[in-house]
């Protein structure tokens, strides 16, 4: 039996593999506090849960869903973008519901890349940007996003010959894993760059409504001319704590949205109708609970940043996203340090090397851990020996 070459080059998904190590220690009786995955622990408000329960019990929703999403869902996405970002979208041509944004991100490569085509991929970055490219035999050109560049890609450092061959440019702000944030001035530069080289910008924006202090994340589509060269992915996983429901969206350039929809209609059968109906409720109902939810994450951010700095593990204090990004101590690789924490004090963090070559020497810590466990982790960090 012979497998495709791309499978031999495809690594196991990072988080699935790391979870095996965490679960093995839990099975051995070790009390592990897992900061490894950004899986929201703050539940959605009751009206979302009540809606899902009601819709699941409607037998009509057990039929095949609409391939391109309910018209009401597409309208809800457009209305949400108008209210949240003041971005106008044609619901029938510039919006598309996804089975979570992850599958849309992976499938975009099928729509945009032929074998050998180049995607400009941030490093460190969400692994699926690179893995989706790999699955269609594309080539990832890594853009270092490090402390030296304030965790932004340096467009001027990309050789013109690479830019001229590139088909897709991946961006992600607020950023996973670094927590870096940007303003519209950065997006304007990105849009100008995309116009210059005829590149599609694929902006991944699932953390747009997890923000702190006086910062509020923008959408790239707020920039004039962005819809000519950009699409934006978003998700209800983080904003509405609906990660398991698997529903997201892509919006923006109509030709790209149509192409991705054509790929998806040949691969999947759309989003479960009960989930779409619940998503409509979430997107169109009172949003005033979100700032209060963000206060919970903000308190955890402040407590953990203080504890980590006291333990001589310096981290960035992010203005948005669900993650802290810190440096590992000298003498450790990122993976060694993650397992040192796990074995010494039962605290698990994600090694930065899992997010690409330029993540080595760092670790990521999620804020999606219950308050009591956060406080317990603070006590454990106080006795950590390096």
HEC secondary structure over the chain: CCCCHHHHCCCCCHHHHHHHHHHHHHHCCCCCEECCCCCCCCCCCHHHHHHHHHHHCCHHHHCCCCCCCCHHHHHHHHHHHHHHHCCCCCCCCCEEEECCHHHHHHHHHHHHCCCCCEEEEEECCCHHHHHHHHHCCCEEEEEECCHHHCCCCCHHHCCHHHHHHEEEEEECCCCCCCCCCCCHHHHHHHHHHHHHHCCEEEEECCCCCCECCCCCCCCHHHCCCHHHCEEEEEEHHHHCCCHHHCCEEEEECHHHHHHHHHHHHHHCCCCCHHHHHHHHHHHHCCCCHHHHHHHHHHHHHHHHHHHHHHCCCCECCCCECCEEEEECCCCCCHHHHHHHHHHHHCEECEEHHHHCHHHCCEEEEECCCCHHHHHHHHHHHHCCCC
CA 355 – CA 170 distance, rounded (Å) = 14
Answer positive or negative: Cα dihedral of 19, 21, 25, 31: negative
Answer positive or negative: Cα dihedral of 141, 147, 148, 151: positive
What 21-30 contacts at long range (C-beta under 8 Å, 24+ apart), as own/partner pairs, is 21/339, 21/342, 21/348, 22/342, 22/348, 25/342, 25/346, 30/346
Residue with token string 């510039």: 94
Amino acid 24: pLDDT = 80
Which residues of the chain fall below pLDDT 50?
Answer: none
Fold adopted by 5-44+289-382: 3.90.1150
| Interacting residues of 13 by C-beta distance below 8 A, sequence separation 6+ | 127, 131
Amino acid 23: pLDDT = 81
Amino acid 30: pLDDT = 78
Beta bridge partners of residue 123, listed in sequence order: 144
Amino acid 292: pLDDT = 97
Tokens describing residue 315: 């981290």
Query: Residues 32, 346: contact at Cβ < 8 Å?
Result: yes
The segment(s) of the chain belonging to CATH 3.40.640.10 are 46-284
Amino acid 29: pLDDT = 79
Amino acid 120: pLDDT = 98
Amino acid 4: pLDDT = 85
Other CB atoms within a 10 A radius of the CB of residue 111 amount to 20
The segment(s) of the chain belonging to CATH 3.90.1150.10 are 5-44+289-382
The CATH code of domain 46-284 reads 3.40.640.10
């Amino acid at each position: 039996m012979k497998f495709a070459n791309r499978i031999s080059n495809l690594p196991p998904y990072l988080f699935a593999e790391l979870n095996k190590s965490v679960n093995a220690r839990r099975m051995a009786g070790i009390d592990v506090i897992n900061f490894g995955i950004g899986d929201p622990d703050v539940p959605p408000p009751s009206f979302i849960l009540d809606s899902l329960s009601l819709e699941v019990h409607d037998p009509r929703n057990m039929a095949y869903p609409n391939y391109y999403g309910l018209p009401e869902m597409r309208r809800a996405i457009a209305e949400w973008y108008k209210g949240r970002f003041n971005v106008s979208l044609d619901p029938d041509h510039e919006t598309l519901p996804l089975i979570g944004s992850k599958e849309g991100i992976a499938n975009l490569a099928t729509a945009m890349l032929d074998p050998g085509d180049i995607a400009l991929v941030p490093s460190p970055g969400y692994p699926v940007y690179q893995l989706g490219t790999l699955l269609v035999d594309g080539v990832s050109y890594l853009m270092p996003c490090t402390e030296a560049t304030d965790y932004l890609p340096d467009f001027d450092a990309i050789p013109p010959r690479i830019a001229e061959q590139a088909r897709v440019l991946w961006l992600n702000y607020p950023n996973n894993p670094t927590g870096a944030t940007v303003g519209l001035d950065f997006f304007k530069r990105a849009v100008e760059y995309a116009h210059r080289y005829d590149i599609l910008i694929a902006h991944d924006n699932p953390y747009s409504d997890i923000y702190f202090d006086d910062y509020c994340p923008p959408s790239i589509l707020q920039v004039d001319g962005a819809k000519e060269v950009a699409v934006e992915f978003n998700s209800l996983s983080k904003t509405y704590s609906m990660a398991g429901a698997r529903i997201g969206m892509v919006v923006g350039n109509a030709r790209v949205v149509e192409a991705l929809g054509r790929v998806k209609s040949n691969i999947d059968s759309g989003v479960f109708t009960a989930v779409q109906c619940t998503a409509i409720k979430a997107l169109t109902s009172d949003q005033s609970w979100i700032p209060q939810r963000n206060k919970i994450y903000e308190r955890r951010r402040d407590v953990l940043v203080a504890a980590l700095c006291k333990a001589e593990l310096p981290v960035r204090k992010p203005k948005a996203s669900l993650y802290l990004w810190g440096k590992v101590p000298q003498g450790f690789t990122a993976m060694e340090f993650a397992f040192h924490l796990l074995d010494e004090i039962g605290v698990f963090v994600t090694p930065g090397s899992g997010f690409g070559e330029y993540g080595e020497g760092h670790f990521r810590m999620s804020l999606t851990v219950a308050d009591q466990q956060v406080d317990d982790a603070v006590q454990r960090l106080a006795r950590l020996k390096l």
